[in-house]
């Protein structure tokens, strides 16, 4: 049974060097690069808001802004968890259908089994954590590429959601009339609870990524996994924990989505993963790993929501909305590739 060594001075040095190798986080230059990426993303968000405010009717109203924030909650929560995975150099394509499966399981626990709401919510979150565990095991112990492992999980989750629900929505109105208050309630007047949950999770994600050993190893694995392993860190264990942590965000997103719709819709979910990944990349997280931030991800999620909402207000057909979102994803990946080339 392998044991993890306590990081001594040499281990700390190796891990820090691994982090600095790709992220360029050491020194003034690295700081300026991160600030520039986030500033560009924030500038893009401001430009989109101004554009749609001018050319879209009723865009810049509190009701619409509140709707944008509510729509951002699900994508934002998924993106926050995915940030950790992408920083390790991995990818998770299962978060969309995994969110759907978590929503369905929440419905099964509360409506079909008659369990208390709090227990059903924990069951939904636990479903996401379990999916993260399976993904982590497949990637670390079976040696499957993250793309293949999570693609398979995406299909499995989609199928299970349909089978378990009987291809029918599971409604909460009869068994738990107040369930929708999880997302639509207003502890702060005019601001849906889903938005507060997203903000709270963003703070948690920031603290974990920047103030805990899990976040430190997330950067280290993404920057140079082999050097991190040779320094005495059990990289397999930490990658599994990272995927489980991200899975918890997927489960929470499923609960929030179910509460927002007041039902678990088994046919939703496909496509959410692309929007979440795009939000992470737009926010400055590198697909090659070793670099990323929670603040950037939040800005990226807002950009995606504002873009989609603005296109709808301008009466752009859904087909063309998909085209625009696809182009945005291509541009985001291109600039990420460009950043990686210039940093080497």
Distances (CA, A) of 158 to 45, 90, 101, 335: 32, 21, 7, 32
Predicted local distance difference test score (pLDDT) of residue 237: 96
Number of other CB atoms surrounding residue 177 within 10 Å: 10
User: What DSSP designation does 132 have?
Assistant: H
Domain covering 58-336 in this structure, CATH number: 1.10.3470
Q: What's CA 96's distance to the chain center, in Å? A: 10
> pLDDT for 98-131, tens place per residue?
999 999 999 999 999 999 999 999 999 999 999 9
Distance between CA 70 and CA 198 in Å, rounded? 9
Compute φ and ψ for 106, nearest 5 degrees.
-60, -40
Per-residue confidence band for 39, with pLDDT thresholds at 50, 70 and 90: confident
The b/e string for 307-329 (b: 16+ C-beta within 10 A; e otherwise) is: bbbbbeeeeeeeeebeeebeebb
Which residues are paired to 219 by β-bridges?
Answer: none
Q: Which two tokens stand for residue 257?
A: 């989505």
Coil, helix or strand at residue 118? helix
Residue extents of the structural domains in the chain: 58-336
> pLDDT for 117-169, tens place per residue?
999 999 999 999 999 999 999 999 999 999 999 999 999 999 999 999 999 99
Coil, helix or strand at residue 122? helix
Predicted local distance difference test score (pLDDT) of residue 148: 97
Predicted local distance difference test score (pLDDT) of residue 3: 46
In this prediction, residues 242-267 reach a mean pLDDT of: 96
Q: Would you say the pTM of this structure is higher than 0.95?
A: no
> pLDDT for 49-89, tens place per residue?
999 999 888 888 888 998 899 989 999 999 999 999 999 99
Predicted local distance difference test score (pLDDT) of residue 92: 96
């Amino acid at each position: 049974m392998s044991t993890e060594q306590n990081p001594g001075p040499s281990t700390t040095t190796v891990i820090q060097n691994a982090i600095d190798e790709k992220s360029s986080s050491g020194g003034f230059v690295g700081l300026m690069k991160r600030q520039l990426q986030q500033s560009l993303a924030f500038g893009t968000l401001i430009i989109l808001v101004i554009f749609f405010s001018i050319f879209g009717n009723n865009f810049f109203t509190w009701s619409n802004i509140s709707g944008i924030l509510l729509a951002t909650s699900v994508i934002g929560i998924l993106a926050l968890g995915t940030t950790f995975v992408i920083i390790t150099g991995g990818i998770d394509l299962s978060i969309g259908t995994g969110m759907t499966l978590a929503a369905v399981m929440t419905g099964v626990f509360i409506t079909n089994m008659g369990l208390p709401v709090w227990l059903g919510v924990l069951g939904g979150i636990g479903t996401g954590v379990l999916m993260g565990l399976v993904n982590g095991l497949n990637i670390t112990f079976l040696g499957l590429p993250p793309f293949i492992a999570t693609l398979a999980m995406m299909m499995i989750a989609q199928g299970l959601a349909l089978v378990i629900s009987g291809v029918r929505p599971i409604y909460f109105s009869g068994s738990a009339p107040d369930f929708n208050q999880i997302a639509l309630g207003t502890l702060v007047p005019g601001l849906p609870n889903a938005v507060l949950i997203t903000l709270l999770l963003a703070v948690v994600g920031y603290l974990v990524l920047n103030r805990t050993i899990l976040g430190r190893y997330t950067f280290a694995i993404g920057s140079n996994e082999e050097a991190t392993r040779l320094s005495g860190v059990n990289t397999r264990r930490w990658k599994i924990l990272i995927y489980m942590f991200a899975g918890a965000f997927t489960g929470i997103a499923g609960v929030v989505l179910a509460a927002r719709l007041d039902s678990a819709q088994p046919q939703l979910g496909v496509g959410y993963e692309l929007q979440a990944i795009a939000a992470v990349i737009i926010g400055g997280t590198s697909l090659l790993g070793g670099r990323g931030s929670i603040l950037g991800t939040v800005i990226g999620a807002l950009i995606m929501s504002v873009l989609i909402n603005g296109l709808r207000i301008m009466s752009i057909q859904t087909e063309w909305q998909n085209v625009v979102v696809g182009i945005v994803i291509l541009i985001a990946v291109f600039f990420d590739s460009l950043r990686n080339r210039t940093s080497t």
